[in-house]
């Protein structure tokens, strides 16, 4: 039950993009087409779950026992950068089609604040191992959901008559605001 609440909270109620403002850069940058939004969402979810596992192990098995908590920020970011690099190499070896589909999005994930944010939030709330994983999955699902909905809206928006100065990022932000309002409807769920 506890785990279900964490999942729903991360995916819908406190959506990473629309209520924590994590991962806004890819949200604005990659939400042009539904197909690339899905690829980006999948790649990010994959890295989010791996990060949740690795950062929990790092924090609770290395940093805490040796009283090195102050190294949290540099060690997390290094682990994430290494992880992304490793995932990229692994996918390239194992599945060429998947690598071609995710290719350009993978390096971008390192600087996606949702990843570091997830690791920091999980350790801040002192989640257990299983809770961290569920939190990671929930965050990934929420990120993908927001990205895909946004991409769908933007495909329609291309046909709309938007004032010239508002085309691109400004109108995307305004639409995101309306989307955030809609997501507030989930607030009563937990």
Which residue's CB is nearer to another protein, number 74 or number 97? 74
The one among 10, 11, 13, 18 contacting another protein by CB under 8 A: 18
Other CB atoms within a 10 A radius of the CB of residue 167 amount to 13
Structure tokens at 53: 């596992």
Which range binds another protein by CB under 8 A, 53-61, 69-77, 129-137, 143-151?
69-77
Which residue's CB is nearer to another protein, number 101 or number 162? 162
Other CB atoms within a 10 A radius of the CB of residue 63 amount to 18
Closest contact distance (angstroms) between CB of 21 and another protein is 4
CA distances from 118 to 43, 90, 150 (A): 15, 23, 22
Other CB atoms within a 10 A radius of the CB of residue 179 amount to 17
DSSP 189: G
CA distances from 63 to 22, 36, 149 (A): 25, 37, 39
Closest contact distance (angstroms) between CB of 92 and another protein is 18
51 binds another protein (CB under 8 A): no
**Contacts of another protein in 147-186 (CB under 8 A):** 163-166, 169-174, 176-178, 180-181, 184
The one among 124, 156, 158, 161 contacting another protein by CB under 8 A: 124
The one among 63, 116, 133, 151 contacting another protein by CB under 8 A: 116
If phi > 0 it is left, if psi is from -120 to 50 it is alpha, else beta; for residue 160 that is beta
3-state helix, strand, coil in the chain (%, to 5): 80, 0, 20
Which residue's CB is nearer to another protein, number 4 or number 178? 178
Binding mask 70-109 for another protein (x = CB under 8 A): xxxxx--xx--x----------------------------
Matching residue, tokens 């194992």: 94
Residue ranges in contact with another protein by CB under 8 A: 18-25, 28, 70-74, 77-78, 81, 111-113, 115-117, 120-121, 124, 163-166, 169-174, 176-178, 180-181, 184
């Amino acid at each position: 039950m506890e785990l279900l609440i964490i999942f729903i909270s991360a995916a819908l109620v406190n959506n990473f993009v629309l209520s924590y403002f994590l991962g806004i850069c890819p949200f604005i940058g990659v939400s042009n087409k539904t197909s690339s939004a899905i690829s980006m969402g999948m790649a990010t979810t994959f890295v989010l779950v791996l990060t949740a596992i690795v950062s929990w192990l790092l924090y609770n098995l290395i940093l805490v026992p040796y009283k090195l908590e102050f190294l949290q920020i540099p060690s997390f970011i290094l682990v994430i950068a290494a992880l992304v690099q490793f995932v990229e190499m692994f996918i390239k070896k194992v599945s060429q089609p998947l690598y071609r589909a995710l290719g350009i999005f993978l390096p971008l994930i390192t600087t996606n604040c949702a990843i570091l944010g997830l690791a920091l939030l999980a350790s801040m709330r002192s989640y257990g191992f299983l809770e961290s994983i569920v939190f990671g999955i929930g965050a990934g699902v929420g990120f993908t959901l927001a990205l895909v909905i946004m991409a769908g809206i933007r495909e329609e928006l291309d046909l709309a008559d938007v004032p010239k100065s508002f085309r691109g990022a400004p109108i995307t932000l305004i639409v995101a605001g309306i989307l955030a309002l809609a997501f507030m409807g989930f607030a009563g769920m937990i």
